[in-house]
């Protein structure tokens, strides 16, 4: 038994090392493929060290964990033009994805639903379009989601509100329509909700007054109607609420 164990441990360690190296190489391959699909870089600010000759963990905008796997992709305000590739969903240990302030266009690929460890996604100030996909609801570790300033259309899916750790949701400056789903009440940690400059309508759902963590609610420049419920008093942490340029008629009468 002892001899068997002495051989098993080195074999196990070797197998784990091979798995880590394989995943490391896959992360690098995914990011090089992503770079190759950037169709325009007018400011010529793409990091020079994104090369197979350099460890991916030393690339500008990349952070890695102790195992050498990519955990963060930070490429904000680089004026990059292209699409978000489905293969980015293979970065299985990614916790931060920040590509705000660029010119990415097209739809968000469903493969991003595989980023189960994601805690922050900032895709604000791009040119993304289509509907906001319901698979966001699979990202249950997500705490910060900003899609501000894109071209998203359609309604807000109730499935989005499975992100039970979400603290900030910013869908401002898009072209969203329809109602705010009552499932908004399923976000127990939500602090900041920003929806200004869309085409959302109908009354604000009563379930929102159960989100006791809410601090900021921004509904400006929409077609919301009805009135603010007296139950707003339940929101003891609420600091700011914006309803100007909507059809909301104030706080309901006693």
For the chain, domains (ranges, CATH) are: 2-178 (3.80.10.10)
Parallel, antiparallel, or unpaired for β 151-154 and 127-131? Answer: parallel
- pLDDT at position 42: 66
CA atoms within 13 Å, Cβ hemisphere of 244: 2
Q: Name the least confident of 6-10, 111-115, 183-187, 236-240.
A: 6-10
Q: Which two tokens stand for residue 73?
A: 């992709």
70-80 pLDDT, tens per residue? Answer: 999 999 998 89
Q: Name the least confident of 44-53, 62-71, 153-162.
A: 44-53
What confidence category does residue 235 fall into, taking pLDDT thresholds of 50, 70 and 90? very high
Query: Tokens 């399923």 map to which residue?
Result: 186
What confidence category does residue 25 fall into, taking pLDDT thresholds of 50, 70 and 90? confident
What confidence category does residue 253 fall into, taking pLDDT thresholds of 50, 70 and 90? low
Answer whether 59's CB lies under 8 Å from 47's CB. yes
54-69 pLDDT, tens per residue? Answer: 899 999 999 999 999 9
- pLDDT at position 150: 99
What confidence category does residue 16 fall into, taking pLDDT thresholds of 50, 70 and 90? very low
Question: What share of the chain in percent tops pLDDT 70?
Answer: 87
Q: Backbone phi, then psi, for 192, in 5-degree steps?
A: -125, 125
Q: Averaged over 23-48, what is the pLDDT?
A: 81
- Name beta bridge partners: 70: 64
Task: Please state the pTM of the whole predicted model.
Answer: 0.89
What confidence category does residue 3 fall into, taking pLDDT thresholds of 50, 70 and 90? low
């Amino acid at each position: 038994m002892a001899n068997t164990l002495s051989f098993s441990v080195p074999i196990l360690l070797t197998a784990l090392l091979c798995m880590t190296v394989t995943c490391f190489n896959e992360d690098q391959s995914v990011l090089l493929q992503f770079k190759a699909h950037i169709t325009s870089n007018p400011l010529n600010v793409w990091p020079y060290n994104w090369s197979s000759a350099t460890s991916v963990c030393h690339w500008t905008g990349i952070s890695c964990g102790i195992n050498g796997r990519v955990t963060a992709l930070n490429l904000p305000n680089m004026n990059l033009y292209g699409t978000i590739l489905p293969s980015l969903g293979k970065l299985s240990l990614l916790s931060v994805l920040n590509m705000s302030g660029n010119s990415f266009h097209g739809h968000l690929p469903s493969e991003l639903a595989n980023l189960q460890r994601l805690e922050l996604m900032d895709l604000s100030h791009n040119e993304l379009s289509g509907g906001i996909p319901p698979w966001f609801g699979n990202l249950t570790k997500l705490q910060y989601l900003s899609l501000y300033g894109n071209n998203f259309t359609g309604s807000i899916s109730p499935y989005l509100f499975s992100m039970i750790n979400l603290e900030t949701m910013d869908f401002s400056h898009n072209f969203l329509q329809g109602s705010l789903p009552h499932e908004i009440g399923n976000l127990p940690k939500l602090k900041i909700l920003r929806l200004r400059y869309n085409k959302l309508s109908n009354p604000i759902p009563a379930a929102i007054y159960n989100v006791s963590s809410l601090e900021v609610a921004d509904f400006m420049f929409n077609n919301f109607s009805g009135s603010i419920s007296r139950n707003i008093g339940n929101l003891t942490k609420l600091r700011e609420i914006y309803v100007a340029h909507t059809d909301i008629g104030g706080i309901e009468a006693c």
